[in-house]
Amino acid sequence: MNNWFTVKVKYTKQLENGALKRVSEPYLLAAMTFTDAEARIYEELGAVIRGEFAVTGIARTEIHDIFAYDDAEVWYKAKVKYENFDADSEKSKKVTQNFLISAHSVKEAYERLQESLQGLMVDFEIPSIIISPIVEIFPFQENLDREISRRPIEEVEEEEDEVSGGGAVFSASGSDVDDEDEDEDVEEGDSEIEDDYEADEDEEENED
């Protein structure tokens, strides 16, 4: 079963003005285990990054779905809350899920998320949308998911174009709901990744 992992990579980057700078960047990818995540990031970035790079951190990241649009490269993380009725206990359960949307602004991310979730058969709210430090996302691949019979991303993209005409949807873990208690732990873990990222950026600026 695939999950999303945030992998932090440190390397020397060539800026637009030709200068070289040591940077630390987080990437999000689908993998089955931490070991698979590390192996895959080396495979994905090996042909892209010139010179050596090092993986400085890997963390499991709870993302329910990712809505990718070709016209935007900046990612926004949105929290969605709604109530889910449990037929067994006959009680409503508060559910919180995290989504990523590529957009040009918070306003556009909100509008795209609303459009993407219009088929949800419950009332929901979007309490927060923040910009994400994620540089790039590597969704699951057919050869990685052959054993668990998941569909290749091309089929998902075609289906989304037919249904909504919007962006592609990337899924990994396949979990339907995340209760609010579990989400608190997720939020804590995600904030650590972002805090580490910002701390590294401050350190690199001081070195320059």
Over the stretch 86-118, which tens digit does the pLDDT of each residue have? 777 778 888 999 999 999 999 999 999 999 998
Average confidence score pLDDT of the chain = 77
Q: Which of the four pLDDT bands, split at 50, 70 and 90, describes residue 49? A: confident
Task: Please report, as a single letter, which amino acid is at residue 69.
Answer: Y
Q: Which of 168, 98, 158 is nearest to 134 (CA)?
A: 98
Strands 91-102 vs 65-68: parallel, antiparallel or unpaired: parallel
| Paired tokens of 40 | 């895959």
Q: Give the domain extent around 157.
A: 3-207
Predicted confidence (pLDDT) at residue 3 exceeds the cutoff of 80: yes
Entry pTM = 0.69
Q: Residue 106 half-sphere exposure, CB side, CA atoms within 13 Å? A: 9
Strands 20-31 vs 137-138: parallel, antiparallel or unpaired: parallel
pLDDT, residue 203, reads 53
Taking only the tens place, the pLDDT of each residue in 173-208 is 443 444 444 444 333 334 344 444 444 555 555 555
Sign of CA dihedral 115, 119, 149, 175: positive
The percent of residues above 70 in pLDDT, for the chain, comes to 69
Domains of the chain: total: 1
Q: How far is CA 16 from CA 1, 11, 57, 207, in A?
A: 39, 16, 27, 19
